[in-house]
Structure 1
Amino acid sequence: MRVYLPAILSELQRESPVLLAPRIAHGVTPALRELWPDEDDEGWEYAAQAGAADGSLILLAGAPGAPPLRVVVAADVPEGCVQALDDPPVPSAVELVCGVDLSQMVSVHVDEPAAADDVAAAAAGDEAALDRLEERDLLWYDVTEIPQIPVP
């Protein structure tokens, strides 16, 4: 199953990155499909990725030394590693109960360095900065490019 995991860049900058579980992830859930019944798979995946980007801001708020960039990791995990939440905060939210290593990561999506000020402000609760971030797309990186992701 494809999931989108909120992350911070420092989690990926280790020699052998592993995203530990349990953690909230995002995916194309029945609730997401029900919310937007006329959308297609690509649209649902984009919505799940956007939910993970918002989750990355929450992680950044608790990690003041981390580079201020939203990070989303797309990963393919066994279905048994994903559990439904009783009361999900957003329709795409699920609980990931298994760690994710580099071999399961498909791609990494990161803000461009120019977004760093807005990311830091949004992580601190600035609604205007959050609105500006909604206009920005995350940049796509292959997992082999993780060491080359530019940091502000």
Structure 2
Amino acid sequence: MRVYLPCTLVALAAAVEAGELGPAPLTGYAVTPALTEWYASGDTEELEYVALTEAARASLRLLAAGRAGGVEAPPRRVVVAAEVPDRAASAGADLEERARVRLAEPIPMAKVAAVHIDDDYAAADIEAAVAALPASDAGDDDARFTVDGAEAHELMWYATQEIPDLLSS
């Protein structure tokens, strides 16, 4: 099963150092039965894109949480795509996030298939979205529009051998 794990560049660097994404439990996003049922007309590629988009939204929240905790990470959403056995991921019953799964074990970096990251040109919009999250969560429509604007940026795809270059730039 392909699982999309929300991350930040700071967390990705820590995972590379540790040799695994963790600690468990981890929240990821995947093509779950609930997602397939909800998006019945979609093919596998479309369903995986939905899961990737959900993970990108979660990455935005990780950036905000890190900032609130004093961790300065570059304003770029990061999603790590990994291959895990189907039994490793358990789907929740949350109808709002049909693609959400829980992983009970850390993910070895050897299981990472690719990394998806915002291009540098998205930084201003990502920064604005991170700042607007609290107001968006409180129901402010203008702030919600700003947060949704982050999704206008497609994440770039990088092979695993490119991770060291991503972290050094």
TM-score (norm 1): 0.91
TM-superposed CA distance for 1:122, in Å, is 1.3
TM-superposed CA distance for 1:38, in Å, is 0.8
Q: Does 1:145 align with 2:145?
A: no
* Structure-2 residue corresponding to 1:119: 126
Alpha-carbon RMSD across the aligned residues, in angstroms, is: 1.8
Question: Which residue type is aligned with residue 153 of structure 2?
Answer: R
Q: Distance in 2 between matches of 1:44 and 1:129?
A: 25
Which portions of structure 1, spanning 4 or more consecutive aligned residues, are displaced by more than 4 angstroms? none
* Structure-1 residue corresponding to 2:150: 133
Larger helix proportion, structure 1 or 2? 2
* Structure-1 residue corresponding to 2:137: none
Contact 2:21/2:108 (CA < 8 Å) preserved in 1?
yes
Structure 2 gaps of 5+ residues are: 134-142
Question: Which residue type is aligned with residue 118 of structure 2?
Answer: D
Structure 1 gaps of 5+ residues are: none
Contact 1:119/1:129 (CA < 8 Å) preserved in 2?
no
Q: Percent identity?
A: 41
Q: Deviations over 1:16-41 (max 9, x none)?
A: 44211212100001111111111100
SS of residue matched to 2:124 = helix
Q: Deviations over 1:81-106 (max 9, x none)?
A: 21121335411111111111210000
Q: Map 1:81-96 to 2 at 5 A.
A: 81-87=88-94, 89-96=96-103
SS of residue matched to 1:47 = helix
C-alpha spacing 1:88/1:104, structure 2 compared with 1 (3 Å) = farther
Corresponding residue pairs, total:
152
From the CA coordinates, give the structure whose radius of gyration is larger. 2
SS of residue matched to 2:73 = coil
Question: Which residue type is aligned with residue 100 of structure 2?
Answer: A
SS of residue matched to 1:62 = helix
* Structure-2 residue corresponding to 1:25: 28
Q: Deviations over 1:39-94 (max 9, x none)?
A: 10000000000000001011111112111110001000122221121335411111
Q: Distance in 2 between matches of 1:31 and 1:151?
A: 39
SS of residue matched to 2:5 = strand
Q: Does 1:45 align with 2:48?
A: yes
